Chain A
Amino acid sequence: MTYARRAWIVLQKDLLIERRSKEQTNALLFFCLLLLFLFQFALGPDRERLTAALPGLLWLGFILAGLLGLGRSFLAERENDCWEGLRLTPGDKSAIYLGKLAGNCVLMAAVEVVLVVLFGVFYDVDLWTPAAPLALVLALGTLGLASVGTLFAAMTSQARARELLFPVLLLPVQVPVLLATVSATQALLLGQPLADVAHWLKLLAGADCVYVTIGVLTFEFVLEG
């Protein structure tokens, strides 16, 4: 119970700080709009090209927004040495990791919803019909991205070249997640049933379990430096 309360208070604190400062939300929403305009110019009005490229573009948007958002998720902890306060807190430190992970998932999910809606409107694509299976793919992909992203953001938050280190560490580890999410998204947008992408979903679920477990087991060592 105490463990869950501790994770919950970290999540609550992160969301409250973000709601007040709006630093990440504003930057990410503006970034999403920018991406949409760029993709529109790059692809032109050709619908076939657009349909083929859309899953990749969608996930490219999520990844880039994720890199921006996740990379900044420990900035508040750097201010006023709060990082040290977290280190000195008695008890299992993985509760802090799970709270931070949940906060990052909520933030990324909010950005993804906005991005998906904007993609649908801008490119006149029907995202409503495959909405439920697409939401499942997005949820699993987001958890995979955020679980490693939260851990690596903590690892690099004290480093001088963290803006460079973070994507360099994160992206290679994300290959299975990206492969599965882009392939599953493409199949769903082409109208295939969820059963046809079950193997990708299993890969995603497996990767998520591995990533979250590694995060829970190693966060204490990361925090202690």
Chain B
Amino acid sequence: MIAAQDLRKAFGPTLVLDGVSLALPRGRCLAVLGPNGAGKTTLLRLLATLQRPTSGTVTIDGVDAVREPDRVRPLLGVVAHGSYVYEDLTARENLRFWETLRGGDPSAARVAAALAQVELDAVADERVRTFSAGMKRRLGLARVLLAEARLLLLDEPFTGLDRRGQKWVNEFLLAFKAGGGTAVVATHSLGGSLAVADRIAILAQGRLVLDRPATDLSPEALHRLYESLTEGAEAAP
């Protein structure tokens, strides 16, 4: 489904990603862990075709995503920090807007079903301005569901969520995978990532220092590995 080969990304003289290669088959979830400034968000943005790599390739479903981003974008569902929601529209209006813009079917029944799936049906007609961060993230996920995305790219999905919210995101990801979807999740949450990921990757200072099946790692082992591999790697603010 997704393969990145020798990805490098530099902003001026600063090398943010240095030779990252990874592959993920359909229906699997990859959790990308790493301290602040390790390059997680940059990696996600390269996979999402929001930035071009300085060198290296990204292939999604056999299509070169760097050269032909428009061909892979219909497959992508991206939920980043901002969730792509308009504050002065209601949840229902937001979904209708994005689905129409995508050229999809924005029928009331589909929108209502997507809102019910993310448990926002009770507040469907309230303005997003009144929503919490977790609710906005769920609305972002409803947009992805409505678009029938096959590759989900989530940036820090657990940040700012309480235990129930984190559990909800985990359940969402498991259901997404069960439906044949593929997901890449950039996160700080070691526990959250082990609960849903099939593979665990750790980035430190732009380099991929670990890429292993999640089944090989217990929570304690992952914690120890993370500490040893990222020690002193946090970028200066």
Partner of B89 from A13, A86, A90 at Cβ < 8 Å: A13
User: Which residues of chain A are within 8 angstroms of B50 by Cβ–Cβ distance?
Assistant: 84, 87-88
Those of A33-92 within 8 Å (CB) of chain B: 76, 79-82, 84-91
Q: Name the A residues within 8 Å of B20 (CB-CB).
A: none
Q: Is the CB of B100 within 8 A of A9?
A: yes
* Residue in A20, A80, A85, A89 whose beta carbon sits within 8 Å of that of B127 in the complex: A20
- Which B residue's beta carbon lies closest to that of A7? B101
Q: Which of A5, A82, A87, A90 contacts B86 (CB 8 A)?
A: A82
- Which range contains the number of A residues in contact with the other chain? 20 to 34
B85-111 with Cβ < 8 A to chain A: 85-89, 93, 96-98, 100-103
Whole-angstrom distance from the CB of A9 to the nearest CB of chain B? 4
Interface footprint category on B: 20 to 34
For the complex formed, measure the closest distance between the CB of A23 and the CB atoms of chain B, giving whole angstroms.
9
Give every chain B residue within 8 A of A162 (Cβ-Cβ).
Answer: none
Which B residues are in CB contact (< 8 Å) with A20? 88, 127
Which residues in B have their C-beta under 8 angstroms from that of A16?
88-89, 93
* Residue from the set A6, A85, A89 with the largest chain B CB neighbour count within 10 Å: A85
The answer to whether A2 touches B103 (Cβ under 8 A) is yes
Q: Chain B residues near A140: list those with CB within 8 A.
A: none
Please tell me if A135 contacts chain B, counting CB pairs below 8 Å.
Answer: no
- A96's nearest neighbour on chain B, judged by CB, is B101
Within 8 A of A (CB), among B34-92: 48-50, 70, 73-74, 76, 78, 80-89
Residues of B whose CB lies within 8 Å of any CB of A are: 48-50, 70, 73-74, 76, 78, 80-89, 93, 96-98, 100-103, 127, 136
